[in-house]
Chain A
Amino acid sequence: MLNVSLPGLNMKNPVMPASGCFAFGREFNNFYDLNELGAIAIKAATKEARFGNPTPRVAETPGGMLNAIGLQNPGVDKIISEELEWLKSFETPIIANIAGSQIEDYVYTAEQLSKHSRVSALELNISCPNVKEGGIAFGTVPEIAADLTEKVKAVSEVPVYVKLSPNVSDIIAMAKAVEEAGADGLSMINTLLGMRIDLKTGQPILANKMGGLSGPAIKPIAIRMIYEASQHVNIPIIGMGGIENADDVVEFFLAGASAVAVGTANFIDPLCCPKIISALPDKLKEMNVNHINDLKGRSWRSCQKTSSSR
Chain B
Amino acid sequence: MINAKMLVIQNSPIAENIFELKVQGELASHVKAPGQFVHIKIGDFIDAMLRRPISICDVDKDSHVLTMIYRTDGKGTKRLSQCIEGEMLEILGPLGNGFPIETVKAGAHAILVGGGVGVPPLYYLSKQLKEKGVQATHILGFQTEEIVFYEKEFNHLGPAYVATADGTKGTKGFVTDVLKEQDFVYDVMYACGPIPMLKALETNYNGKPLYLSLEQRMGCAIGACLACVCETQDRTDSKGYRKVCSDGPVFKAGEVILPC
- Asked whether B223 lies within 8 Å of A27 as measured between CB atoms, the reply is yes
Q: Please name all residues of chain A whose beta carbon is closer than 8 Å to the beta carbon of B231 when the two chains form the complex.
A: 51
Q: Please name all residues of chain A whose beta carbon is closer than 8 Å to the beta carbon of B205 when the two chains form the complex.
A: none
Choice from B3, B49, B50, B225 contacting A21 with Cβ under 8 Å: B225
The chain A residue sitting closest to B76, CB to CB, is A60
Q: Whole-angstrom distance between the alpha carbons of A270 and B50 in the complex?
A: 12
Chain A interface residue count, CB cutoff 8 Å, equals: 36
- Asked whether A67 lies within 8 Å of B222 as measured between CB atoms, the reply is no
Q: Is the interface of A mostly helix, strand, loop or mixed?
A: loop
Choice from A26, A28, A267 contacting B50 with Cβ under 8 Å: A267
Q: Whole-angstrom distance between the alpha carbons of A266 and B225 in the complex?
A: 10
- Asked whether A62 lies within 8 Å of B224 as measured between CB atoms, the reply is no
Cβ of B185 within 8 Å of any chain A Cβ, yes or no, is: no
The answer to whether residues A55 and B220 also contact, given A65-B50, A270-B92, A271-B3 and a CB cut-off of 8 A, is no
Choice from A31, A63, A270 contacting B47 with Cβ under 8 Å: A63
The answer to whether residues A52 and B219 also contact, given A266-B224, A268-B41 and a CB cut-off of 8 A, is no
- Asked whether B49 lies within 8 Å of A63 as measured between CB atoms, the reply is yes
- Asked whether B225 lies within 8 Å of A23 as measured between CB atoms, the reply is yes
Cβ of B107 within 8 Å of any chain A Cβ, yes or no, is: no
Q: Whole-angstrom distance between the alpha carbons of A266 and B47 in the complex?
A: 17
Q: Please name all residues of chain B whose beta carbon is closer than 8 Å to the beta carbon of A266 when the two chains form the complex.
A: 220, 224
Choice from B90, B226, B239 contacting A69 with Cβ under 8 Å: B226
Q: Whole-angstrom distance between the alpha carbons of A63 and B46 in the complex?
A: 5
Q: Whole-angstrom distance between the alpha carbons of A21 and B246 in the complex?
A: 16
Q: Whole-angstrom distance between the alpha carbons of A77 and B214 in the complex?
A: 31
The answer to whether residues A27 and B246 also contact, given A59-B217, A266-B220 and a CB cut-off of 8 A, is yes
The answer to whether residues A21 and B217 also contact, given A30-B1, A55-B230, A64-B49 and a CB cut-off of 8 A, is no
Interchain nearest-CB distance for B248 vs A (Å): 13
Interchain nearest-CB distance for B93 vs A (Å): 12
Q: Whole-angstrom distance between the alpha carbons of A288 and B32 in the complex?
A: 49
Q: Please name all residues of chain B whose beta carbon is closer than 8 Å to the beta carbon of A72 when the two chains form the complex.
A: 226, 229, 241
- Asked whether A27 lies within 8 Å of B227 as measured between CB atoms, the reply is no
- Asked whether B226 lies within 8 Å of A270 as measured between CB atoms, the reply is no
Choice from B3, B49, B218, B241 contacting A215 with Cβ under 8 Å: B49
Q: Please name all residues of chain A whose beta carbon is closer than 8 Å to the beta carbon of B225 when the two chains form the complex.
A: 20-21, 23, 58, 67, 69, 267
Choice from B90, B219, B239 contacting A58 with Cβ under 8 Å: B219
Cβ of A256 within 8 Å of any chain B Cβ, yes or no, is: no
Cβ of A185 within 8 Å of any chain B Cβ, yes or no, is: no
Q: Please name all residues of chain B whose beta carbon is closer than 8 Å to the beta carbon of A62 when the two chains form the complex.
A: 46-47
Q: Whole-angstrom distance between the alpha carbons of A26 and B225 in the complex?
A: 12
Cβ of B159 within 8 Å of any chain A Cβ, yes or no, is: no
Most buried by A among B48, B217, B227, B240: B227
Q: Whole-angstrom distance between the alpha carbons of A26 and B222 in the complex?
A: 10
Listed from nearest, the 6 A-B pairs whose CB atoms lie closest are A23-B224, A58-B227, A27-B224, A267-B220, A62-B47, A267-B219
Binding site for A on B (CB under 8 A): 1, 3, 41, 46-51, 76, 90, 92, 216-220, 222-231, 239-241, 246, 259
